[in-house]
Amino acid sequence: MTPLQVIFLITAAVTLVAALAVVTRQNLVHAALFLVLSLFGVAVFFVLLEAEFLAVVQVIVYIGAIAILMIFAVMLTRKVASDDTVAANRNAGWAGLIAAGLFFILVIMLSAWSGFYTQAAELSRPGVDTADLGQAMLVELGEHLVSPQAYVIPFEVASVLLLAALIGSLVIAWPRIKKEA
Partner 1 sequence: MEFLKDPVAFIAGLLQNLSAALNLPPAVESILGTVIAVVVVASFGLVLVIPMIWVERKVAARFQDRLGPNRAGPYGLLQTFADMIKLITKENITPDGADKVPYNIAPVLSVVSVVMIWAVIPFSAIWIGSDLNVGVLYIAAVGSFGILSVLMAGWSSNNKYALLGAFRAVAQLVSYEVPLFMALLVPILLAGTMSVNGIVEAQSYGWFILAAPVPALIFFISSVAEIGRTPFDLLEAESEIVAGFHTEYTGMKFGMFFAGEFLHAFTISVLTAILFFGGWRGPGIEFSPLVGFFWLMAKGSAFYFLVMWIRTTLPRIRIDHMLAFNWKVLTPLSLVILMLTAVLDKVFAGDPLRVPVLLAANVVSLFVTLWLATSVSKRQQKDLQTFPTRPVAVPPASEAETSA
Partner 2 sequence: MIPLSWYLIFAAALFCIGLYGVLARKNAIAILMGVELMLNAVNINLVAFWRYLAPQRIDGQVFAIMVFAVAAAEVAVGLALVISVYRRRHTVAADEIDMMKW
Which of the choices partner 1, partner 2, none does residue 66 contact, using the CB cut-off of 5 to 8 A by kind? partner 2
* Bridge partners (DSSP) listed for residue 125: 128
> 107, 130, 132, 135: which one contacts partner 2 (CB under 8 A)?
107
Contacts to partner 2 from residues 82-101, by CB under 8 A = 85-89, 91-92, 94-96, 98-100
Contact 74, 29 (CB under 8 A): yes
Name the residue nearer to partner 2 (CB basis): 130 or 159: 159
56 binds partner 2 (CB under 8 A): no
- 176, burial (CB in 10 Å: exposed 0-12, middle 13-18, buried 19+): exposed
Say whether 128 sits in a helix, a strand or coil. strand
158 binds partner 1 (CB under 8 A): no
Determine the Cα–Cα distance for residues 60 and 42; give it in Å rounded to an integer.
Answer: 13
> 2, 80, 149, 178: which one contacts partner 2 (CB under 8 A)?
2
Contacts to partner 1 from residues 50-69, by CB under 8 A = 52-53, 56-57, 59-60, 63-65, 67-68
Say whether 73 sits in a helix, a strand or coil. helix
For 179, residues 6+ apart whose C-beta sits below 8 A from its C-beta are: none
Min. distance of Cβ 18 from partner 1 in angstroms?
Answer: 13
14 binds partner 2 (CB under 8 A): no
140 binds partner 2 (CB under 8 A): yes
Residue 67 vs residues 74, 82, 89, 93, 102: alpha-carbon distances, Å: 10, 23, 24, 28, 27
Determine the Cα–Cα distance for residues 181 and 179; give it in Å rounded to an integer.
Answer: 6
Minimal CA–CA distance to 48: which of 37, 60, 58?
58
Name the residue nearer to partner 1 (CB basis): 138 or 165: 138
> 134, 145, 150, 155: which one contacts partner 1 (CB under 8 A)?
134
Min. distance of Cβ 156 from partner 1 in angstroms?
Answer: 15
71 binds partner 1 (CB under 8 A): yes
119 binds partner 2 (CB under 8 A): yes
